[in-house]
Chains A and B, each alone.
Chain A
Amino acid sequence: MEFGFTTAAYVVAAVLFILSLGGLSGQESAKRAVWYGIVGMGLAVFATLIGPGSGLWLLSLLLIAGGGAIGVYVAQRVQMTEMPQLVAAMHSLVGLAAVFVGFNAHFEIKNVAEVMAIVDSAKDADLSDLGAFAKLIAKKTGAELAILHVELFLGVFIGAITFTGSVVAYGKLAGKVTSAATKLPGGHMLNAGAAALSFICLIWYTSSGGFFPLFLMTLAALFIGYHLIMGIGGADMPVVVSMLNSYSGWAAAAIGFSLGNDLLIVVGALVGSSGAILSYIMCKAMNRHFVSVILGGFGGPQGEQMAVEGEQIAIEADGVAAALNDADSVIIIPGYGMAVAQAQQSVSELVRKLRAAGKNVRFAIHPVAGRLPGHMNVLLAEAKVPYDIVMEMDEINDDFPETDVAIVIGSNDIVNPAAQDDPNSPIAGMPVLECWKAKQVFVSKRGQGTGYSGIENPLFFKENTRMFYGDAKASLDKLLPMIE
């Protein structure tokens, strides 16, 4: 009876989660969609608490409340520019939770086995003091137990990778770990070795059922997660974050299998496929293969890169202001530099002033601008830039030739013409915003230097490009009073 209710609640929750993800197709419906998610989650937790998870429910509630308080505090305090770090940190929590739950499942199996060994026949009576999950295990046959082992093993494996991977990603995004791609000597051989070790542990574990192989594998997986993400450069972070997101989903699904919980499976699969698609979209936007992103860093240049000739011509704020005052159409291309300098408010103010003067101002967002899928959109939204003037690359790329001024704020690789002109460039073939086709281009940049990927950008040397050096926020604040 109780369990029937739980299952029904799970079905409703699953539907709500699907609606919640589907609702994100538009800005307006998204606001409703979040509520679906919240209600779904509340329903699922409630149904579990009064159903199979009723043991120690008070402690559970207390823990949820405690965790929730921290969650609320963090969510309210976090800066929008810190969003990538926050998401990465949260992924690590899910990963760690998956590892713990996996371990628990293992202990339960052992407990049940011990109890079963003592009392062989009369199950229900003796098992009543065990948890709901244990009752489930007790009914399993040998083959099912073997599969259970594999599922559990996978859950722990993916969870562990997600955990350390997310911690490293968090460190990189928060600037606590160097964002450059670093590898231990041995490179991918170490990863492969750790993976092989894990596989051996899997065979060992399924045959023996002991804790040691599981533990050994966990260590190996933790190492893989750490080393894999350390080897991926800062520019690839959008892919990494969405990939970890995907992993946390798959870990949940694997755990769901081992616990025999369909809702876990459904939600895990939803999250897993969502992250996978996001990774795919990001990779496509960079014209790179998922595998080559995961294996880390940009591959070495295949040949001599085109030498860049000319010099970078600097310009002061008054020059930029004069050009902006004369312009009819302006396109702004924000990048990670805008996020770093916290310049989105100044950008928004600039846009407001330009629009008040009757100019056509739009934003061009490259799919991998920033460190998180959709990062720029969130920052601009925070600064109250209307979302209908924020365009995707495909929508706006053809408009550059008719544009008077393009302003590049803290982006580099996504506006690099070498991607189209130089077949030897590491980013050759990556779709880029063709801002150099605008009549005039201003690049707001801290100094002469290459971007994350360390690639020289010929855009900065073009005849119609002027470099507006300095911190993006300081530069824009200098510029603002000069705009009429």
Chain B
Amino acid sequence: MKIGTPKEIFDGEARVAMTPDSARQLQKLGYDCAIESGAGAAAGFSDATYEEAGVEVLKTAAALWKASDIIAKVRQPDATELKRLTKDKTLISFFNPAGNEEGMEAAKSKGANVIAMEMVPRISRAQKMDALSSMANIAGYRAVIEAGNNFGRFFTGQVTAAGKVPPAKVLVVGAGVAGLAAIGTSTSLGAITLAFDVRPEVAEQVESMGAEFVYLDFEDEQQDGAATGGYASVQSDEFREAQLAKFRELAPEVDIVITTALIPNREAPELWTKDMVEMMKPGSVIVDLAAEKGGNCKLTVADKKIVTDNGVTIIGYTDFPSRMAAQSSTLYATNIRHMMTDLTPEKDGQINHDMEDDVIRGATVTHQGEITFPPPPPKVQAIAVQKKPEVKELTPEEKRAKEAAEFKAQTKSQVTLLAVGGVLTLLVGLIAPASFMQHFIVFVLAVFVGFQVIWGVAHSLHTPLMAVTNAISSIIILGALMQIGSGSFLVILLAGLSVFMAGINIFGGFLVTRRMLAMFQKS
């Protein structure tokens, strides 16, 4: 089969979906490659280099579309291009299926298969063909470069013979791929970089890139990014307010703001309001990577650079990847090539459009005359689920269940103890006379009371406790007193000695205890 890449029609688009390098790889998969004459010129790839790589160069777009079974391109195809689709042709391209109903209808009516590059699911296996990420990476990098281009100072702080230069302060809003790329670029240029994201779990990534994560004073259940495929989702009003308040606080101090906040299939959320722009110092720069979707700053004009009345430059370019066409073409072409590898498991130059495969199924928007968008959720979870805090806050039900289980276990052990104790007591009762049992009851109850009472004694009072128990254990004096009246001399002697010793104990014990307790005092 033949893979063909036409020249991009979109005005100003410099990228190309096939490079000489990627063409060589595709040929190894068994495909023939073709390219429209001049398609790679804007990205720095001449027709000659393609020919060198064994790519057939066709003069016109029409010829190319006609000759190719598989069309790989960058931008969403326009009406003319869609008309060139025929049955059994496969188109691989950005397609914007969510906002391109007519395009899908047209492709469906033609019976062509369309693979939309932005629909590649975000799972580890598909990262090699994730064109959104590779383009976002470039956009993030380029955003910082554009900002620097329009910023009148150094990024890094310097102390020179000609005076001291403070470092630039950069705020990156949204720590997705573009945001992280921007953070990396900004920190490596030497700026103090702050970053914010609605997903607190990316704080670690932000910090690993050398930026400082801006935390909000906001107590709420933050959404787990993993549940939404790694993308941010819509936030509550209170959260938004806390976020804007934080930005207002930061606005006067930052020199460069790079906003990258995009919510899939929605208008970009307004994060950098007009009053924040007014608070910024003259000469500051805002780069709005969400300009295409209306911008995170409402003053942004898409594809334009404007300067506000207070001297703040707002850059609303939407073609950052295209501005680095050589780099972005290389990456995009590689993404396409990986997609083809997955489509050609046999390496025989034939497409095996396997709709059971998560990645291929997810990216396919029309297949054999049917619209297959939106795809079912991928079977494999998008990214690692956010680590749960170690001590989990139990819900009331769980707590109750746990308490009930504990109570059950406690009851069980208590009942066992009671049963064993009860049986033993009964056994004793079988052989012992009643008079003994009367005393025995008293004894058991007293032990019980003792256990209950002593647990409550304060730790610091253990020594007084010992002194008191020592004093009252001389209750043995009662026994001696009862015996002292007996006739036998020996008995009187021993009993007398006992009374004497117990007497020492009673007075000594209580007095010492009182002495100790009198010493305890509060500060």
Q: Which residues of A contact B (CB under 8 A)?
A: 14, 17-18, 20-22, 24-27, 30-31, 33-34, 37-38, 40-41, 44-45, 48-49, 52-56, 59-60, 63-72, 74-76, 78, 80, 83, 86-87, 90-91, 93-94, 96-98, 100-101, 103-105, 107-108, 111, 129-134, 140-141, 143-144, 147, 241-242, 245, 248-249, 251-253, 255-257, 259-275, 277-278, 281, 365, 367, 372-375, 377-378, 381-382, 384, 386-390, 392
The segment from B125-133, B242-250, B345-353, B479-487 that touches chain A is B479-487
Check A131 against B486 for contact (C-beta < 8 Å): yes
Check B446 against A265 for contact (C-beta < 8 Å): yes
Complex Cα distance, B457 from A367, in Å, reads 13
Check B478 against A97 for contact (C-beta < 8 Å): no
Complex Cα distance, B456 from A18, in Å, reads 12
Check A41 against B457 for contact (C-beta < 8 Å): no
Q: Which residue of A lies closest to B515 (CB)?
A: A75
Give the contacting residue for A93; candidates B436, B505, B521; CB below 8 A: B505
Complex Cα distance, B447 from A256, in Å, reads 14
Q: Which residues of B contact A (CB under 8 A)?
A: 432-433, 435-436, 439, 442-443, 446-447, 449-451, 453-488, 490-492, 494-523
Complex Cα distance, B436 from A93, in Å, reads 28
* In the complex, the 10 A-B pairs of residues with the closest C-beta atoms, listed nearest first: A55-B485, A67-B503, A386-B523, A374-B462, A273-B450, A71-B507, A71-B508, A53-B481, A373-B462, A269-B446
Task: Tell me the interface secondary structure of chain B in the complex.
Answer: helix
Q: Which residue of B lies closest to A257 (CB)?
A: B439
Contacts of B496 in A (CB 8 A): 59-60, 63
Check B508 against A24 for contact (C-beta < 8 Å): no
Check B442 against A262 for contact (C-beta < 8 Å): yes
A sample of 11 more A-B contacts (CB under 8 A), given A133-B482, A256-B443, is A22-B456, A30-B461, A68-B503, A70-B507, A78-B512, A87-B470, A93-B505, A104-B498, A108-B483, A140-B435, A264-B479
Contacts of B463 in A (CB 8 A): 83, 87, 372-375, 377-378
CB distance from B173 to the nearest CB of A (A): 35
Complex Cα distance, B456 from A281, in Å, reads 12
- Would A53 and B517 be within 8 Å (CB), given that A67-B501, A78-B512 are in contact? no
Complex Cα distance, B465 from A405, in Å, reads 33
Check A269 against B472 for contact (C-beta < 8 Å): no
Most buried by B among A100, A108, A133: A100
Contacts of B509 in A (CB 8 A): 71, 75, 90
Complex Cα distance, B496 from A263, in Å, reads 20
Q: Which residue of A lies closest to B508 (CB)?
A: A71
Check A91 against B470 for contact (C-beta < 8 Å): yes
Give the contacting residue for A53; candidates B475, B485, B522; CB below 8 A: B485
Contacts of B480 in A (CB 8 A): 97, 100-101, 104
Give the contacting residue for A97; candidates B486, B498, B510; CB below 8 A: B498
Check B450 against A21 for contact (C-beta < 8 Å): yes
Contacts of B458 in A (CB 8 A): 24-27
Complex Cα distance, B485 from A54, in Å, reads 7
CB distance from A188 to the nearest CB of B (A): 27
- Would A270 and B449 be within 8 Å (CB), given that A68-B503, A108-B486, A386-B523 are in contact? yes
Check A20 against B468 for contact (C-beta < 8 Å): yes
Task: Tell me the interface secondary structure of chain A in the complex.
Answer: helix
Contacts of B517 in A (CB 8 A): 27, 30-31, 34
Contacts of B492 in A (CB 8 A): 56
Total A-B contacts with CB atoms under 8 angstroms apart: 391
Contacts of A98 in B (CB 8 A): 476
Complex Cα distance, B470 from A222, in Å, reads 20
Check B483 against A133 for contact (C-beta < 8 Å): yes
Give the contacting residue for B479; candidates A76, A143, A261, A274; CB below 8 A: A261
CB distance from B459 to the nearest CB of A (A): 5
Check B483 against A104 for contact (C-beta < 8 Å): yes
Complex Cα distance, B508 from A448, in Å, reads 39
Complex Cα distance, B219 from A424, in Å, reads 46
Contacts of A273 in B (CB 8 A): 446-447, 450-451, 454
Check A252 against B471 for contact (C-beta < 8 Å): no
Q: Which residue of A lies closest to B460 (CB)?
A: A377
Give the contacting residue for B481; candidates A30, A45, A108; CB below 8 A: A45
Most buried by B among A48, A269, A275, A392: A269
Give the contacting residue for B439; candidates A14, A33, A133, A265; CB below 8 A: A265
Complex Cα distance, B480 from A255, in Å, reads 10
Complex Cα distance, B517 from A30, in Å, reads 7
CB distance from B431 to the nearest CB of A (A): 8
21 residue pairs from A and B, CB less than 8 Å apart: A30-B517, A33-B468, A37-B513, A67-B500, A71-B509, A91-B473, A93-B502, A101-B495, A111-B491, A130-B487, A242-B462, A245-B470, A245-B473, A261-B478, A262-B439, A266-B442, A271-B450, A271-B473, A273-B447, A275-B469, A372-B463
Complex Cα distance, B366 from A20, in Å, reads 87
Contacts of B436 in A (CB 8 A): 144, 147, 257
CB distance from A60 to the nearest CB of B (A): 6
Check A374 against B443 for contact (C-beta < 8 Å): no
Q: Which residue of B lies closest to A162 (CB)?
A: B473
